[in-house]
């Protein structure tokens, strides 16, 4: 297996893949149904089926299909989530939304939380897993995304705590379809300026849904719409917790302040980039 791993590593490196040795081990392990560590110790020949699976996955990775979308799974916060090309791949940066939301909800007995643009459900389900008395509503305009989110809820044993709604926050009747008032609204909305999308890494622009990336001309269209809705959806004292793009935190805070919410905090991520905006009604 050393020669095979070396060959895969060289091909992945030549394609510009970061951590090519690790990814070679992950691919071999996935093809054989074993862990990446076990793949290094493999001393037998691959079966025809294993070789076919490995060749297929390697071709996909050389075409810059993200590893999580090849494997169909992605770790986020404390949990593993099913993913596909129909949902945005969960990012480590987004875990700050969960962490900050949990700090705000600390000690709360019952909560009604809505996740706008839920995708795989990773934010909402990570929150609900912390307290069996909390209830969540995941909103997404993609039926395929909601199917994946529902599958994740089943696997995490959270079906009874969550409901799913196929809708857009641009729908006029959205409020009437939600259980109100909300204690908290969380969202990682599309925030990439449309002109910047062609310059994104192939793993993002070619394999994440465009609808999960496109934030309009300045990247702020979805924040404006959510801000127009939030005051009527939240109870007094309710929270909005948002992920924002690089350089957007102050603009997003102003947009929501203009709708009547009070800026509470801007939180940087581990790289020091302002990544989370928190507001209060």
Q: Please, how many CA atoms are within 13 Å of residue 159, restricted to the half-sphere of its CB?
A: 7
- Give the contacts of 244 (CB within 8 A, at least 6 positions apart): 191, 223, 252, 274, 275, 276, 277
pLDDT of amino acid 264: 98
173 known ligand binder: no
Tokens for 164, please give them: 């799913």
Domains of the chain, earliest start first: 2-63 (no CATH), 77-280 (3.40.50.150)
Contact 92, 119 (CB under 8 A): no
Distance CA 220, CA 209 (A): 18
Residue with tokens 């069996």, as numbered in its chain? 132
- Give the contacts of 79 (CB within 8 A, at least 6 positions apart): 122, 125, 126, 129, 156
pLDDT of amino acid 134: 98
pLDDT of amino acid 55: 97
Contact 170, 146 (CB under 8 A): no
Q: 219: phi > 0 → left, psi -120 to 50 → alpha, else beta; which? A: left
Alpha helices in 77-140 (DSSP H): 95-105, 122-128
Distance CA 81, CA 89 (A): 10
Assign 131 to helix, strand or coil. coil
Distance CA 82, CA 98 (A): 18
Tokens for 48, please give them: 């025809």
181 known ligand binder: no
pLDDT of amino acid 107: 81
119 known ligand binder: yes
82 known ligand binder: no
209 known ligand binder: no
Q: Helix axis angle, 20-32 relative to 2-14, nearest 10°? A: 130
Vertex 188: Cα angle to 182 and 194 (nearest 5): 135
pLDDT of amino acid 2: 84
33 known ligand binder: no
Alpha helices in 43-186 (DSSP H): 48-62, 67-71, 95-105, 122-128, 143-155, 174-177
- Residue 232 φ then ψ, to 5°: -80, -15
**What is the mean pLDDT, run by run of 10 residues, along the chain of 281 residues?**
92 97 96 94 94 98 97 97 98 97 93 98 98 98 98 99 98 96 98 98 97 98 98 98 98 97 97 98 98
Residue 184 pairs in a beta bridge with: 113, 239
- Start-to-end CA distance of the chain, whole Å, equals 59
72 known ligand binder: no
216 known ligand binder: no
């Amino acid at each position: 297996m050393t020669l095979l791993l070396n060959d895969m590593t060289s091909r992945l490196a030549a394609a510009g893949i970061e951590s090519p040795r690790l990814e070679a081990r992950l691919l071999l392990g996935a093809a054989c149904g074993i862990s990446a560590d076990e793949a290094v110790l493999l001393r037998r020949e691959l079966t025809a089926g294993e070789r076919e699976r490995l060749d297929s996955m390697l071709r996909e990775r050389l075409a810059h299909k993200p590893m999580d979308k090849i494997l169909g799974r992605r770790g986020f916060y404390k949990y593993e989530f099913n993913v596909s090309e129909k949902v945005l791949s969960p990012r480590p940066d987004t875990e700050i939304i969960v962490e900050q939301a949990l700090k705000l909800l600390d000690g709360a007995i019952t909560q009604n939380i809505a996740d706008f643009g839920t995708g795989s459900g990773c934010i909402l389900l990570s929150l609900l897993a912390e307290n069996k008395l909390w209830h969540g509503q995941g909103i997404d305009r993609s039926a395929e995304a909601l199917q994946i989110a529902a599958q994740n809820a089943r696997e995490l044993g959270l079906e009874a705590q969550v409901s799913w709604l196929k809708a857009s926050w641009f729908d006029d009747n959205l409020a009437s379809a939600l259980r109100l008032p909300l204690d908290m609204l969380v969202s990682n909305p599309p925030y990439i300026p449309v002109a910047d999308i062609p310059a994104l890494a192939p793993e993002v622009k070619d394999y994440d849904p465009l609808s999960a990336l496109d934030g309009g001309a300045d990247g702020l269209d979805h924040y404006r719409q959510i801000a127009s809705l939030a005051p009527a959806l939240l109870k007094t004292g309710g929270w909005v917790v948002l992920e924002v793009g690089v350089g957007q935190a102050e603009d997003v805070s102003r947009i929501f302040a203009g709708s009547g919410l009070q800026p509470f905090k801007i939180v940087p991520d581990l790289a020091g980039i302002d990544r989370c905006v928190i507001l209060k009604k």
